[in-house]
């Protein structure tokens, strides 16, 4: 299972910064271990899907790269340093550059600039035409995509240090250090900018809201709480990126819970027991979550009541789900994208990408759903 391959002790963090490609620590191995993935059954699709375009940006290696949506364009990146801006509807490449160092995280953009994480904790900033602006140095390896808001670039490094950098110069404005549990997932817990705040997913199952201008804490809340007698049993990191919808921020944690919280105060609206190492998807009615056994569930966004559960994709190492129209889509370790009914979880359609794992969160870009694979293929799938 990929969870056992993603566990990292905090004493190893310095080593990890320089040894990120050690195969035994690769969370994206193409051959699952332990429980065998459910076989795919023949599907009589009731919804038409097609591949609108594909683009090769380069392998992700053992990192997670998520495209950034900027207007009607996407900015995508790969581990070898490639960064490109493409038209979201057609996939037409507008420009492509090569960073002077391998990359480990990205892409972050506010529509005015682009920021990625590079080898050994370097942070690289570019303008929207791909021209370098500045570079800064984080305290350790950067696995989470930086975010930008209120003139501040927020970077989280593997040692759980959160830094606010001046968006114009890269100068450090503030630093927040949070203690990590003895054992955590080697993951890319995400961040999201909400007005003048940034909400940061944390090891140990917490969400932390910080004021962008100063780094001052606004609120902190536990999504999952550590339980059990051993450190392994007590791992409860937030999976993926928190999602803000209207007045809610929703998230899930490994060996913990899924829930929605008041975005202004952190007060819990509802929580349900769930173990997940990937993020959630939220729409007007539902919160969609994937558990660590591969079951996809929908919860009522207002109350947390269970709406449906589909367990026919067990142990297929599913990605964060994404809601679009009448479907919720999720990728798997073989690069398949599965479309389930938003209303009852029934299978609607299936599409193939390039045969490699989909680990980055999918993205809605106009009429297309965007999936980036570990082999480096960015695929736009149109739902018809």
CA distance 65 to 183: 24
Buried-exposed string 311-347: b where 16+ CB fall within 10 A, e elsewhere: ebbebbbbbbbbbbeebbbbbbbbbbbbbbbbeebeb
Buried-exposed string 28-40: b where 16+ CB fall within 10 A, e elsewhere: bbeebeeeebeee
pLDDT for the residue numbered 79: 98
Q: Give the number of other Cβ atoms within 10 Å of residue 149's Cβ.
A: 20
Q: pLDDT-derived band of residue 274, with 50, 70 and 90 as boundaries?
A: very high
Specify the number of domains making up the chain. Answer: 1
Q: pLDDT-derived band of residue 185, with 50, 70 and 90 as boundaries?
A: low
3-class secondary structure, 225 = coil
Find out whether 331 and 362 touch, Cβ atoms under 8 Å: yes
Looking up tokens 């994480």 gives 117
Residue 293 DSSP code: T
Q: pLDDT-derived band of residue 204, with 50, 70 and 90 as boundaries?
A: confident
Phi, psi of 160 (to 5 degrees): 65, 35
pLDDT for the residue numbered 2: 56
Q: pLDDT-derived band of residue 70, with 50, 70 and 90 as boundaries?
A: very high
Mean of pLDDT values over 197-212: 94
CA distance 348 to 327: 8
pLDDT for the residue numbered 237: 84
pLDDT for the residue numbered 178: 82
**pTM for this entry:** 0.90
Looking up tokens 């590079």 gives 118
Report whether pLDDT(44) > 90: no
pLDDT for the residue numbered 22: 28
Rounded mean pLDDT of the chain? 90
Q: pLDDT-derived band of residue 54, with 50, 70 and 90 as boundaries?
A: very high
Looking up tokens 């919280």 gives 261
Alpha helix positions (H), the chain? 2-6, 13-18
Rg (CA), the chain: 19
Find out whether 168 and 204 touch, Cβ atoms under 8 Å: no
What the block records as the tokens of 150 is: 């209120």
Q: pLDDT-derived band of residue 30, with 50, 70 and 90 as boundaries?
A: very low
Share of the chain above pLDDT 90, in %: 79
Q: pLDDT-derived band of residue 230, with 50, 70 and 90 as boundaries?
A: confident
User: Could you give the C-alpha distances from 176 to 73, 102, 113, 255, 383, in angstroms and in order?
Assistant: 33, 26, 23, 26, 42
Find out whether 278 and 296 touch, Cβ atoms under 8 Å: no
CA distance 234 to 254: 10
Q: Which helix (H) or strand (E) holds 2?
A: helix 2-6
Instruction: Give me the CATH number covering residue 262.
Output: 2.130.10.10
Q: Which helix (H) or strand (E) holds 18?
A: helix 13-18
pLDDT for the residue numbered 303: 97
Report whether pLDDT(183) > 70: no
Report whether pLDDT(225) > 50: yes
pLDDT for the residue numbered 182: 64
Report whether pLDDT(68) > 70: yes
Show the domain range for 37: 2-383
Report whether pLDDT(309) > 60: yes
């Amino acid at each position: 299972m990929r969870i056992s391959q993603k566990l990292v002790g905090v004493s190893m963090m310095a080593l990890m910064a320089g040894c990120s490609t050690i195969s035994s620590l690769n969370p994206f191995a193409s051959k699952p271990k332990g429980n065998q993935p459910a076989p795919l059954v023949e599907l009589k699709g009731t919804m038409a899907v097609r591949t609108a375009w594909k683009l090769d940006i380069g392998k992700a290696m053992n990192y997670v790269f998520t495209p950034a949506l900027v207007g009607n364009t996407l900015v995508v990146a790969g581990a070898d340093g490639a960064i490109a801006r493409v038209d979201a509807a057609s996939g037409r490449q507008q420009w492509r550059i090569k960073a002077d160092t391998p990359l480990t995280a990205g892409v972050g953009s506010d529509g005015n600039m682009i920021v990625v994480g590079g080898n050994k904790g370097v942070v690289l900033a570019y303008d929207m035409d791909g021209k370098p602006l500045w570079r800064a140095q984080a305290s350790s390896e950067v696995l989470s995509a930086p975010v930008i808001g209120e003139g501040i670039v927020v970077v989280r490094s593997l040692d759980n240090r959160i830094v606010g950098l001046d968006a114009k110069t890269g100068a450090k404005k503030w630093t927040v250090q949070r203690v990590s549990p003895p054992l955590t997932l080697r993951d890319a817990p995400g961040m999201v900018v909400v007005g003048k705040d940034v909400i940061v997913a944390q090891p140990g199952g917490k969400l932390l809201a910080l004021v962008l201008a100063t780094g001052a804490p606004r609120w902190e809340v536990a999504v999952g709480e550590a339980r059990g007698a051993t450190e392994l049993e007590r791992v409860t990191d937030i999976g993926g990126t928190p999602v803000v919808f209207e007045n809610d921020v929703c998230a899930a944690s490994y060996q913990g819970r899924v829930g929605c919280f008041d975005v202004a105060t952190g007060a819990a609206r509802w929580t349900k027991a769930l173990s997940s190492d990937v993020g959630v998807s939220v729409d007007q009615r539902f919160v969609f979550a994937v558990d660590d056994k591969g079951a996809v569930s929908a919860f009522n966004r207002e109350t947390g009541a269970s709406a449906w559960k589909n367990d026919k994709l067990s142990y297929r190492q599913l990605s964060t789900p994404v809601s679009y129209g009448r479907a919720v889509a999720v990728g798997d370790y073989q690069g398949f994208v599965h479309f389930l009914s938003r209303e009852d979880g029934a299978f609607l359609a299936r599409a193939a990408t390039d045969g490699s794992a989909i680990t980055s969160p999918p993205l809605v870009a106009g009429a297309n759903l965007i999936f980036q694979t570990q082999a480096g293929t960015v695929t736009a799938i149109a739902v018809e």
